[in-house]
Structure 1
Amino acid sequence: MHKIEVVENGLEATNKTTEFENEGFSKDNIYIFSHDKNRSKDLTDATETGSVGMEEQGVVDSVGNLLRERGDELRSKMQALGLSEMEAVQYEKVLDEGRVVVIATDNQEGPEHLL
């Protein structure tokens, strides 16, 4: 299961992260997406939340992201968290508008099932 919220800025993303934590989600299972790679990294660092990497995506997709356009990379990462292709496309369009997407997942199986 996952919860997804669209927010306008970093402050709202931080507040949403706290809200998700209060609902029982671990910080490691909360992910912040922005179309700007630096903004994503800064928000992830500031909130000490999870980052979608090789563990969640597997080796092939992680390496493939090095060659992808940013939109393709974002959709791939969202799908690795359990979103459908259609959902990933929808939220990537929201990111194109300059907004931020916060995703919390309670993936009990661990990311290994995504490999």
Structure 2
Amino acid sequence: MDEKVFVRVVDNGARAMEEIHALHRQGHVAEDIFVLAHDKSQTEYLAGAANVNTVTMEEEGMIQSIANMFRSRGDELRAKLESMGCTPQEARVYEAEMDRGKVVVMARVRAANRMM
């Protein structure tokens, strides 16, 4: 499947919600929108409130998902970002932003849905 990922780094949960609503208005469906924050409970809260996804075993694969149980949070976040299609360098940049309290909102852009 030919997929790319759109990534937006926002300042906080309120901005994440705004970005998620904007993605919905642009035609993205809930199952293709993901939210990720350094704090796991913030990630779960935002995903639940916006009815979108977190990066789970389905996106990561079973081996990465199990490995994440033994990784530091930073390593886990970078692995999740890479499983969504980010390069290792991009994943490091986004993880550093999350260390500073930012939130990452992602949307899968499937080849069939691309308009560019």
Q: 1:34 to 1:88 in 2, by over 3 A?
A: same
The 5 A counterparts of 1:87-102 are 87-102=90-105
RMSD: 1.4
Of 35, 38, 41, the residue aligned with 2:41 is 38
State whether structure 2 residue 53 is matched by structure 1 residue 50: yes
1:21 lines up with 2:55 in the alignment: no
User: Using a 3 Å threshold, how does the CA distance of structure 1 residues 40 and 18 change in structure 2: closer, same or farther?
Assistant: same
Q: 57, 60, 64: which one pairs with 2:63?
A: 60
The partner residue of 1:104 within 87, 104, 107 is: 107
Partner amino acid, structure 2, of 1:104: A
In structure 2, stretches of 5+ residues that fail to align are none
Of 70, 74, 92, 1:71 maps to 74
Provide TM-score, normalisation by structure 2: 0.88
Q: Which has the higher strand share?
A: 2
The Cα of 1:107 is off from its aligned counterpart by 3.6
Aligned length: 109
For the residues of structure 2 that align with 1:25 and 1:72, how far apart are their CA atoms?
28
